[in-house]
Amino acid sequence: MRGDKRLYDLFNKLGIAVEYHKHPAAPTIEEAQKHWEGIDSTHCKNLFFRNHKGNKHYLVILHYKQQLVIRDLEQRLKQGKISFASDKRLEKYLGLKAGSVSPFGLINDKENHVHLFIDKELKKAKRLSFHPNINTASLIISFNDFIKFLDNSGNSYEFIELY
């Protein structure tokens, strides 16, 4: 299976079952959509941000069709302006390359620096889809197992209403 072996080892250790789907590189939602036919899952968009000082980083997870109003998120965070984090920061904090952003990158965040904001609408999903830290495959994970993964990561997260 493509992706980070440590991730699959962690899934085994935690008793998390995943459904694996191999596909050509899909660095964007538009590319990924071409490979979703027949996959029963809620597909997610994962966006990595930093605050204006560059000392806080956030991963925002939402349904792939949903548009994020960054200004609204800024007002909720009360951290001033936020912007997309650079490829260098993505590599430093999540150990990921652009086009492969995934909450599974939290296995590389040993200091639990990254905070997650998850759209509360995703609580209604039975199964979620994410890259296994590489964009040539997708993993389907149950919502409950996703929460188990997050709780094990030690990173802080919260469900918020995104619009």
For residue 29, what pLDDT is reported? 83
Give the confidence band of 163 by pLDDT, cuts at 50, 70, 90: low
pLDDT tens digit sequence for 1-24: 888 899 999 999 999 999 999 999
Whole-angstrom CA distances from 137 to 20, 32, 56, 144 are 7, 10, 29, 21
Cα gap 12→5, rounded to integer Å: 11
Contact assessment for residue 43 and residue 129, using Cβ atoms and an 8 Å cutoff: yes
**Whether pTM exceeds 0.85:** yes
pLDDT > 80? residue 158: yes
Provide the strand spans (E) within 1-146. Answer: 18-22, 42-51, 57-63, 82-84, 114-119, 127-130, 137-142
For residue 88, what pLDDT is reported? 97
The stretches of the chain forming alpha helices (DSSP H) are 5-14, 29-33, 70-77, 87-94, 143-153
For residue 3, what pLDDT is reported? 84
Where along the chain do its domains lie? 5-135+147-160
The CATH number corresponding to 5-135+147-160 among 3.40.50.300, 3.90.960.10, 2.130.10.10, 2.120.10.30 equals 3.90.960.10
| Burial (CB count <10 Å: 0-12, 13-18, 19+), residue 18 | buried
pLDDT tens digit sequence for 134-151: 999 999 999 999 999 999
